[in-house]
Amino acid sequence: MMRSYSQDMSGGLENVPVLIENSVPKEAFSNFQYVLESVQGPGCDIDPSVVTLPGCSCRVQSCLPNSCPCLRFGQMYDSKGRLNQQQEDGDFSRPVFECNALCACSESCQNRVVQKGVEVRLGVFSTDDRGLGVEALERLPCGRFVCEYAGEIIGSQEARSRQLSQTPLDMNYIIALQEHSGEDRITQTFVDPVTIGNVGRFINHSCKPNLVMVPVRVHSLLPRLALFANRDIERYEELTFDYAGGQNSSTDTRKWDKAPSGTLTGADVDKIPLRKVCHCGASNCTGFLPLDMSVLH
């Protein structure tokens, strides 16, 4: 379906304009600040804009896996910048580290993808029953980087507080990323794009998505939540990802429709909204948006 687009949501910040359908009212973005990548929010002890990871000394145009420390887990992108991440034993996936601002390699290094920002044409439009959505305005091959899910990186208690303050009519945008590593270690990252974020905020859920979320580290140990095409996507096709993750057991990406973990009082329980109906229309649709029961304990 062809829609009419004009205004750039990013205000010229992105490499390619993020267009807004003409029928979308301007009020939809009145309290929204567009950012290129996630920012530090309440409860987050690390500023994601500060370069804390060491750089490589590869004085080459493009780094090689056998010699670059940034590629110690393997080459995650092909020569066209497409994700070629492979699943390991037990459905675990390898960490993704890009070359950063301290690296000696060129800006055209094959291991620089997510940090370059949006480079595909995207359009934000009004759906019939799911608020706003995002569609591809060009064909996207499998593995193509689309955008980040950017917002405020906040602490667990702040996430819980924000979640409990919502009413049943409020839309929920908080992503809870859980990364599993050796010896049952779990690292959590909470991203809330409700007032500060990017185009990723408007991408809807599907039980059969065409995007996959991958945590990618560039300048900091704080991951950037990168969305890649998990199959070829046609022009004017709506973009979706699974709010519950579901791609592998090493990365668990959850978008709450109930409160984050912590001790809940009786008053808190009364504030927890009912499960929201899923309108993705997929053949395997579960009927409801993902719900992480563990966050209630």
The HSE-up count of residue 271 (CA atoms within 13 Å, CB side) is 17
Grouping H, G, I as helix, E, B as strand and the rest as coil, residue 201 is: helix
The pLDDT, as a whole number, for residue 39 is 97
The pLDDT, as a whole number, for residue 253 is 54
Do 120 and 18 contact (CB within 8 A), yes or no? no
**Bridge pairing between strands 145-148 and 251-255:** unpaired
Residue type at position 45: D
d(CA 113, CA 116): 6
d(CA 36, CA 171): 22
Q: How many domains does the chain have?
A: 1
The pLDDT, as a whole number, for residue 130 is 82
Element (H, E) at 190: strand 185-192
The pLDDT, as a whole number, for residue 279 is 75
Which range marks the domain in which residue 74 is found? 1-296
Encode the chain (297 residues) as per-residue pLDDT tens digits: 689 998 999 999 999 999 999 999 988 898 999 999 999 999 999 999 999 999 999 999 999 999 999 999 999 999 999 998 655 545 567 899 999 999 999 999 999 999 999 999 999 999 988 889 999 999 999 999 999 999 999 999 999 998 888 776 677 789 999 888 777 788 899 999 999 999 999 999 998 999 999 999 999 999 999 999 999 999 999 999 998 876 443 455 555 443 333 333 444 444 445 567 787 778 888 777 775 544 433
CATH number at residue 290: 2.170.270.10
d(CA 210, CA 241): 6
DSSP for 106-151 reads: -TT-TT--GGG---S-EEEEE-SSSSEEEEESS-B-TT-EEEE---
Angstrom distances, CA of residue 149 to CA of 5, 141, 145, 255, 264: 22, 20, 12, 11, 28
As a 3-state breakdown, the chain gives helix, strand, coil percent values, each rounded to 5, of 15, 25, 60
The residues that bridge with 126 in the sheet, in sequence order, are 132
Q: Is the dihedral of CA 151, 188, 277, 161 positive or negative?
A: negative
Single pTM value for the model:
0.88
